[in-house]
Amino acid sequence: MKQMNGKQTPSDPRYSRQVGLPEIGPAGQLLLGQKRVLVIGAGGLGSPLLFALAGAGIGRITIVDSDTVSESNLNRQFLYRSADLGLPKARLAADRLREYHPDLSVVSVTELLTDKNAPELIASHDLVISAVDSLQSRLLINKYCCRYGRTLVDGGVSGFSGYAAVIEPGRTPCYHCLFGVRENTPSGPSGVLGSIAGIIGSLEATLAIILLLGLENPLDGEVLFFYAKDMSFERLKIMRDPDCPHCAASGQREAEQTK
Amino acid sequence: MKIKYFAQISEWTGCTQEDFSHEEDPGMQISVRRVLAGLASRHGSIFQERIYNPASGNLQEDVFILLNGCHLARLQGLDTLAADQDVVAVIPVTEAG
């Protein structure tokens, strides 16, 4: 029996390789099956991370992407095929995940994330993963994750490099602390090696699963940078901005809650 | 001070990190702008073309700098003073998805 009251069970043989891990076990698998994860962006980062989340048995996955499939996506967005050109990514991604794992609950949102829909979407999930392709989208996601105290896993890629970060509002620096005050915005899409998106997307999924299991945040305020041409991973400690308009208030809320 | 280069920037400079200090008085504070000008002089045209050009006084749009983990724009920009024990991180903008 794979399902019980609409929820997955740890006894599903699909999970046998990970249930055997002491960090997961039947209790951890049950926990993953109860979690709701919001994935914003179903492109290069979203392709590997969505499959990884589905494979891990995350109970409910919501996919937000307003874009349609174009030919230039196909070097890295392996959720899609040549026959999908012009079709909405979020809907296709949800269909592919359901084919891959029919017991999951997968919801697609084909609207652009805005100030109007972001609050409800973010507040109604346990964890948010940013797999978007612009500073503005990341700042919007960060703003509402800070407001509603939702942990955010973020990643980005360019050329042969990428980064991953975990933002725990009120505890770690947020995206605004790190990048939000940048004055310059590069124009036009940057080139990227498809497999780099695979690496960073997989890192984002791994971080998300670790956090959903209640394990320690492996980055803890550091950003992890990857550069493929020398196969280096480097971490950099980031300082919180005490005057940050987003996470400084989260810190106060957390302090008030722990009084 | 320690200068750290991330991703493709380390390829342009030929190292992942290096030391830099005030020419006359290593204990003296120096603006990040002067640090970058010194590094541009050390590394030559590739640094000037891809990271910072002392003639224009501007950082390239796809590069940003942290001083001890704090974005320069949160401080005094390129006029922020750096001391010998500080760490300057030069990082490429990486925002595709």
CA distance linking residue A176 with residue A131, whole number of Å: 16
Q: Assess whether pLDDT exceeds 60 at residue A196.
A: yes
In Å, what is the CA distance from A176 to each residue of A132, A134, A136? 15, 13, 10
- DSSP class of residue B96 equals B
**Rounded mean pLDDT of B73-88?**
94
User: Contact A135/B95, CB-based, under 8 Å?
Assistant: yes
**Rounded mean pLDDT of A144-160?**
96
Which domain CATH number covers A51? 3.40.50.720
Q: Assess whether pLDDT exceeds 50 at residue A149.
A: yes
Burial (CB count <10 Å: 0-12, 13-18, 19+), residue B38:
middle
* Chain B residues inside the 8 Å CB shell of A238: 66, 69-70
SS3 B23: coil
Least confident of A2-6, A238-242, B56-60: A2-6
Q: Assess whether pLDDT exceeds 70 at residue A243.
A: yes
Mutate to test the interface with B, among A239, A240, A243, A244 (most CBs of B within 10 A): A239
> Best-predicted range by mean pLDDT among A91-95, A180-184, B74-78?
A91-95
Q: Which residues contact A139 (CB under 8 A, 6 or more apart)?
A: A175, A176, A180
* Chain B residues inside the 8 Å CB shell of A178: 71
Query: Residue A188: its pLDDT value, please?
Result: 61
A124 — pLDDT class (breaks 50, 70, 90): very high
Query: Residue A251: its pLDDT value, please?
Result: 52
Split into its structural domains, chain A has a count of 1
Least confident of A100-109, A113-122, A182-191, A193-202: A182-191
SS3 B58: strand
A40 — pLDDT class (breaks 50, 70, 90): very high
Q: Where are the domains positioned within chain B?
A: 2-92
Tokens of A122: 């973010």
Q: What share of chain B is helix, strand, coil (3-state, %, to 5)?
A: 30, 30, 40
- pTM for the full model? 0.92
Query: Residue A164: its pLDDT value, please?
Result: 98
Q: Per-residue b/e over B54-64, b at no fewer than 16 CB within 10 Å?
A: beeeebbebbb
ipTM for the assembly: 0.90
A2 — pLDDT class (breaks 50, 70, 90): very low
Which candidate from A179, A190, A236 shows the least CB-CB separation from B96?
Answer: A190
Residue A2 lies in a domain: no
Closest chain A CA to residue B69: A238
Query: Residue A3: its pLDDT value, please?
Result: 41
- The CATH number of domain B2-92 is 3.40.50.460: no
Expressed as residue numbers, the domain containing A174 is: 8-180+189-258
User: B6-37, pLDDT tens digit by residue?
Assistant: 999 999 999 999 999 877 777 789 999 999 99
User: Contact B94/A185, CB-based, under 8 Å?
Assistant: no
User: A72-96, pLDDT tens digit by residue?
Assistant: 999 999 999 999 999 999 999 999 9
Residue A1 lies in a domain: no
